[in-house]
Amino acid sequence: MKRNPTAAITVITLLAALALPAPLAAQHTRYKLIDIGTFGGPASYLGDPGVGPGVLHLNNRGVLIGHADTAFSDPNAPDNCDNPDCFLSHGFRWEDGVLTDLGTLPGGNRSQAISINARGWIAGGSTTGEFDPLTGLLQFHTALWTDTEIIDLGTLGDGRNSVAVHVSNGGQIVGFSTVNTTPDPFSFGGASIHPFIWQNGAMRDLGTLGGPDALASPGCANERSGLVTGFSFINSTPNPDTGAPTAHAFLWQDGRMIDIPTFGGTLVSGELDAGALCVNNRGQVAGASTLPGDSVLHPFLWDRGVLTDLGTLGGDNGIVGWLNDAGEAVGGADTPGGEAFHATLWRNGVIADLGTLAGDCVSVANAINSNNQIVGASFNCDTNTLRAVLWDKGSIVDLNTLIPSNSSLELFDVTNINDRGEIAGRALPAGCDDVHFCGHVFLLIPCDNAATGAE
C-alpha cells in the first residue's frame, strides 16, 4: 500500500539510510497491541498533529495520554482547523484498559492532553468558549487534570492564550503564554509569547533573552522541578536572510534564564527545527543549532556552560529527538554527501549509526529509555512506507513483526517508550492511508514483563 510521503516527512523531519540485516522476530519480545481508538471521529493523536519529539505521553505506570477525535466537525473548517481532518478532539487518558474522555474547560469544545507525570497529573490545554480578537479564534488556556478535576491555569498578564508542554513529578507545569494583546509580527500567537512555570496556583513569567518572544520545549523525561529549556529571541531585529530575529537556546535554572549560544547561526525556529529540546535531571540540555548561514543544522549537548557539537554521520545536518539521564541522545543525521539520513545514538562523545530496516532508505530515533531501548521509524523510499521500529540489544526490528499477525493496525511511528518497555505511537487502521487523517494511537505492552501483567 502506498503511503503519503508528506506524512512521512512530517514525522521524520530530515531523513535517509544504510540498511542493516533485520533480525528474526523470534529473537525479540512480543507485544500485546492495544488500539486506543477515538471518541467517534476518524483519528487519535499524541501531542499536536504531526507529533513533535520530546513530549512525555506515557509514564512508567503505563498510563497513556493524547487526544482523540469526537464525531463533531470543527466549526472553523475548512480554513482554520486545529486537526488535519477538521474534527474536534478531546484529551484522553488510557489506564488499565479504560479510555477516559478528559473533556474541556467550561465553554470549550476541544482539548489536548500533552504531558503526564508519575502521579498521573496531566497537563495540556483547552478552548474556553471566548474569542481572541487578534486571531479571531477561540482562546486556548493551559489545563491541568488531576485525579478529580480539570483546572484552568489561565495566562500570563493580559494574554489570551496559553498551553502546557510539561508537568514535573513535583507538580510544576511548564508552558508558554501570550503576555499582552499587542500584535507581534514574530509570534504565531498574535501577541508576544513567554514561557512560564505554574505551581500551587501561581504562574511565573520566565521572560526572554532580550527579544519579544520565547518558547518552552517539552523537556523529554525531565522529572525535576525548576528546570526549563527552550529558545528565545535575543533582540527584535529581523535578520535579512530569515526575516526573524536571532534566537538562542536557553536553560532556566535557579531562578534565572541561562543563554545557550549557537554554532554561529541565528537558530531559526520552524525552518530547521532548531532550539533546545530536552533537559535531563542532571541539567544537561540537548537540541540543535544552525551554523553560519543558517543552511546547516547540528545537534548539540550543553553541560554546565560547555556547548558541544555532537556531529553528524559525515553529512551536513543532524537533529536530536530525546535525551536521557545518562546524557545519551538519540535522533538522526546525514551521511556523507547527504545521500541518506540515519537514526543515531550519541553516547560519551561517540556517534553510532543505528541503520534502517533492510531495503529502507531513511530512519530516525525518537526516544530512548533507561534500559537503552530506542524507538523510532524506518522509511522505504521506493514504496513510501513508514514503519515503527525498535533498536534493542544491538539490532533493529520492525514492531509490526512482534504483534499478532491478524492485527487490524499497521504500526507507523513510535514516539515514547517507558522504563517497563511499553511503547506508544500511531498506526494505520485497515483502509487508512494517511496517518494524519485517520491514524490511531496504539500502545504495546511486552508479553514477558511481569510488571505489565501482559500474557
Its CATH class, for the domain covering 5-446, is: mainly beta
Full-model pTM: 0.90
> What percentage of the chain's residues is helix, strand, coil (to nearest 5)?
5, 50, 45
**CB of 300 within 8 A of CB of 289?**
yes
The predicted structure's pLDDT at residue 34: 97
Q: Poorest-confidence range of 28-37, 106-115, 154-163, 240-249?
A: 240-249
Distance CA 448, CA 455 (A): 7
Q: What is the DSSP string of 309-336?
A: E---SSSS-EEEEEE-TTS-EEEEEEPG
Distance CA 92, CA 66 (A): 5
Phi-psi sector, 311: left (phi>0), alpha (psi -120 to 50), beta: left
Half-sphere exposure of 350 (CA within 13 A, CB side): 3
Question: Residue 48 pLDDT > 70, yes or no?
Answer: no
The predicted structure's pLDDT at residue 109: 95
331: number of Cβ within 10 Å: 29
**CB of 199 within 8 A of CB of 173?**
yes
User: 3-state DSSP call for residue 360?
Assistant: coil
The predicted structure's pLDDT at residue 302: 96
Share of the chain above pLDDT 70, in %: 90
Among residues 366, 385, 384, the alpha carbon closest in space to that of 375 is found at 366
536572510: which residue's cell?
241
| Model confidence pLDDT, tens digit, residues 17-32 | 323 334 344 468 899 9
Which uninterrupted H or E stretch holds 205? Answer: strand 202-205
* Domain locations in the chain as residue ranges: 5-446
Strand 362-368 with 350-355, pairing:
unpaired
- Sheet of 111-116, strands arranged across: 111-116, 122-131, 138-145, 150-154
Instruction: Give Cβ neighbours of residue 6 (< 8 Å, ≥ 6 apart).
Output: none
Distance CA 403, CA 115 (A): 27
| Model confidence pLDDT, tens digit, residues 149-197 | 999 999 999 999 999 999 999 999 999 999 999 999 988 889 999 999 9
Q: Poorest-confidence range of 142-146, 222-226, 361-365?
A: 222-226
Distance CA 42, CA 26 (A): 34
**C-alpha cell recorded at residue 405:** 499477525
Among residues 110, 56, 54, 61, the alpha carbon closest in space to that of 86 is found at 110
Measured in whole angstroms, the distance separating CA 403 from the mean position of its chain's CA atoms is: 25
Q: Rounded to a whole number, what is the largest CA-CA distance in the chain?
A: 60
Amino acid sitting at position 414: V
Q: E strands within 291-394?
A: 297-303, 306-309, 318-323, 329-334, 341-347, 350-355, 362-368, 374-380, 385-392
